[in-house]
Amino acid sequence: MIIGIWCLYRDKEPAWRLFIPFLIVTVLVEMFGIYLREMHRPNFMIYNVFLVVECIVQNYFFYHLYKTYHNTRKLLIGWLIIFAVAYFAELIKNHFGAYVSQTSTLMSVELILASVYFYYLLIREERSRQLSAYAPFWWVNGTICFYFAGIASNLFFTYLVQDQRYGVSGSARYIVFSILNIILYFSWSYAFICRYRQRTSS
Amino acid sequence: MQISSKDLILIIGLASAIFLIAPVSLIIYVMQYNNRKKRHEKEKEWLRTNFENELLKSQIEVQEQTMQNIAGNLHDNIGQLLSLTVVTLSTIDTAEPARVNQKVNSASELAKRAIKELRQLSRLIYGQELLNMGLSQAIAFELDYLRNADLHTITFNSNYHSLEGYYDKEIILFRTFQEILNNTVRHAEATAIDVLIEQSEKELAVMVKDNGKGFDEEKVTKEKKGLGLFNIRRRITLIGGDVSITSQNGTEINIVIPYF
């Protein structure tokens, strides 16, 4: 978050600057989630709300990345409708009493496909790029790694939360997601630094 | 069957690791593909620079060839004619009025021939500009100049019509033609030269055939005398064409380049 604020607060692209409030919200949500857990109160609802924010920000950013190649506004709107339907259907199915893990998995799959599509566009374009310093590439790298491996954990999630006898379900998922978070934020931080360098050198 | 907590952590860890392998492989693939693209771009850039260098060299060589022709013509023809005119005029003796008229006429004839030669020469200087009008005209002028020497029977046939945007290819092809013609004049001891330009839908073929003594390409190349031949092949390859040389009862050189 600190790297994000430092590198992006003067960025000329609103899509990149959007990460500053997004990362602040992420930190606040995580802190509040941990606080609720410590208080032995359910914290799924705050993560359910955050999933909507996450979906909108990530997909808007992908939309911004694709804009270099072509307009995908219809694709974005289409996906957001699908997401809304799945999200509320699962919420109603759970009687607003559990985390929307299936919608989360669906969103992960969609973000993976979006990342793959970005790679496809990158490969298809005629010119080559200095990928080691190309901010969108590193942002997508972090995103695809996080959601791809996150799916594995999410698929086990329903099973794990039921399997309380072992007392390890929560911690196992916690460890996996901690590692994935490190990969994600390391990659994103590097993307922000690339963006900062690009801005200051131009 | 119950799964122990240790196994559970192992399963989750392994599943996550396996799921990480796929995106990492994808990222590596994209990076490698991008590197290949970068290499390809560099190669293309190198080829473009090479082509531009070759084009410039060809243009300079065409100019040099023209200058050589001009120098030769000035020395061998116009210079001689003007010297003869001077000699003729200097031998006029006013004491012999009967021969004065004859000598003046003779000097006048020589001067007229010199003027004709000069006109021919100016056409030759203009010849390199003719490439702007098309390859066929430039080759025709080159052959006209050779025809003046009266050493060869020359035939030239062409169905060529210029296409726009092929000046680069044409200048390289024209320079190659000059090189071939030079070799024929210098080494072939030929009495007849046939030149044919055949344009088809997608190709342009130039054939230069002579009835000279011919040569062994392999031998010439081995003896390192074949720099001209090497240049011909290199240049034609550069514009995506092909050269075939047949040397039997004379020499036939066929050049085919893509032209559409």
Domain locations in chain A as residue ranges: 2-201
Condensed to tens digits (0 to 9), the pLDDT of residues A134-156 reads 999 999 999 998 888 878 776 76
Q: Span B58-68, mean pLDDT?
A: 79
Q: Which of B15, B17, B34 sits opposite A129 (nearest CB)?
A: B34
What's the confidence (pLDDT) of residue B156?
92
Does the CB of B71 have a partner CB in chain A at under 8 Å?
no
Measuring CA to CA, which residue among A184, A156, A179, A152 is closest to residue A168? A156
Instruction: List the single residue in B with minimal CA-CA distance to A127.
Output: B37
Q: How far is A200 from chain B (nearest CA, A)?
A: 25
Residue A173: list chain B partners with CB under 8 A.
Answer: 12
pLDDT level of residue A190 (50, 70, 90 thresholds): very high
What's the confidence (pLDDT) of residue A81?
92
Q: Span B213-238, mean pLDDT?
A: 77
pLDDT level of residue B248 (50, 70, 90 thresholds): confident
Q: Span B130-144, mean pLDDT?
A: 78
Report how far apart, in Å, the C-alpha atoms of A127 and of each of A35, A124, B42, B72 are. Answer: 49, 9, 11, 51
Residue A44 near residue A95, CB atoms below 8 Å: no
More confident residue, B4 or B184: B184
Measuring CA to CA, which residue among B159, B145, B180 is closest to residue B250? B180
Q: Span B113-130, mean pLDDT?
A: 72
String of DSSP letters for B46-63: HHHHHHHHHHHHHHHHHH
pLDDT level of residue A102 (50, 70, 90 thresholds): confident
Q: Give me the residues paired with residue B105 across strands.
A: none
Measured N-to-C along each axis, helices A101-124 and A73-93 cross at an angle, to the nearest 10 degrees, of 160
29-48 in B: which are within 8 Å (CB) of A? 30-31, 33-35, 37-38, 40-41
Say how many C-beta atoms besides its own lie within 10 A of residue A96's C-beta.
11
pLDDT over 90 (residue B136): no
- What is the distance, to the nearest Å, from the Cα of residue B1 to the centroid of all Cα atoms in its chain? 83
pLDDT level of residue B143 (50, 70, 90 thresholds): confident
What's the confidence (pLDDT) of residue A172?
67
- What is the distance, to the nearest Å, from the Cα of residue B255 to the centroid of all Cα atoms in its chain? 11
Condensed to tens digits (0 to 9), the pLDDT of residues B224-236 reads 666 678 888 888 8
Q: Taken in order A100, A105, A108, A110, is the CA torsion positive or negative?
A: negative
What's the confidence (pLDDT) of residue A52?
92
What's the confidence (pLDDT) of residue B1?
53
pLDDT over 60 (residue A158): no
Calculate what percentage of chain B has a pLDDT beyond 90: 15
**Torsion over CA of A45, A47, A48 and A50, rounded to 10 degrees?**
130
Residue B11: list chain A partners with CB under 8 A.
Answer: 156
Q: Give me the residues paired with residue B245 across strands.
A: B253
More confident residue, A160 or A120: A120
Measuring CA to CA, which residue among B178, B185, B83, B91 is closest to residue B128? B178
Condensed to tens digits (0 to 9), the pLDDT of residues B13-40 reads 777 777 788 888 989 999 999 999 999 9
**Torsion over CA of B224, B226, B227 and B230, rounded to 10 degrees?**
-120
What's the confidence (pLDDT) of residue A15?
85
Does the CB of B93 have a partner CB in chain A at under 8 Å?
no
What superfamily would CATH give domain B135-260? Histidine kinase-like ATPase, C-terminal domain (3.30.565.10)
Measuring CA to CA, which residue among B90, A199, B154 is closest to residue A191? A199
Q: State which H helix or E strand residue B163 sits in.
A: none
Instruction: List the single residue in A with minimal CA-CA distance to B5.
Output: A166
Q: Span B83-110, mean pLDDT?
A: 84
Q: Span B111-117, mean pLDDT?
A: 85
Condensed to tens digits (0 to 9), the pLDDT of residues B162-180 reads 777 777 888 888 888 988 9
pLDDT level of residue B50 (50, 70, 90 thresholds): confident
Condensed to tens digits (0 to 9), the pLDDT of residues A28-47 reads 998 888 888 888 888 888 98
Instruction: Domain ranges for chain B, please list them.
Output: 8-132, 135-260
Q: Span B113-117, mean pLDDT?
A: 84
Contacts by A13-17, CB closer than 8 A, 24 or more apart: A13/A64, A15/A60, A15/A61, A15/A64, A16/A135, A16/A192, A16/A195
Give the range among A89-98, A115-124, A166-175, B201-210 with minimum mean pLDDT: A166-175
Measuring CA to CA, which residue among A135, A137, A143 is closest to residue A183? A143
How far is B255 from B236, CA to CA, in rounded Å?
8
Q: Could A153 and B26 be called an inter-chain contact, meaning their C-beta atoms sit closer than 8 Å? A: no
Secondary structure class of B259 (helix, strand, coil): coil
Report how far apart, in Å, the C-alpha atoms of A34 and of each of A23, A44, A46, A174, B5 are. Answer: 16, 11, 11, 12, 24
How high is the mean pLDDT of chain B?
82
Residue A157: list chain B partners with CB under 8 A.
Answer: none
Query: What is the token pair recorded at B1?
Result: 């069957």
Report how far apart, in Å, the C-alpha atoms of A190 and of each of A123, A135, A195, B69, B232 are. Answer: 21, 8, 9, 66, 53
Residue A192 near residue A19, CB atoms below 8 Å: yes
Instruction: List the single residue in A with minimal CA-CA distance to B35.
Output: A128
Q: Could B8 and A168 be called an inter-chain contact, meaning their C-beta atoms sit closer than 8 Å? A: yes
Measuring CA to CA, which residue among B256, B221, B237, B234 is closest to residue B247? B221
Q: Could A152 and B15 be called an inter-chain contact, meaning their C-beta atoms sit closer than 8 Å? A: yes
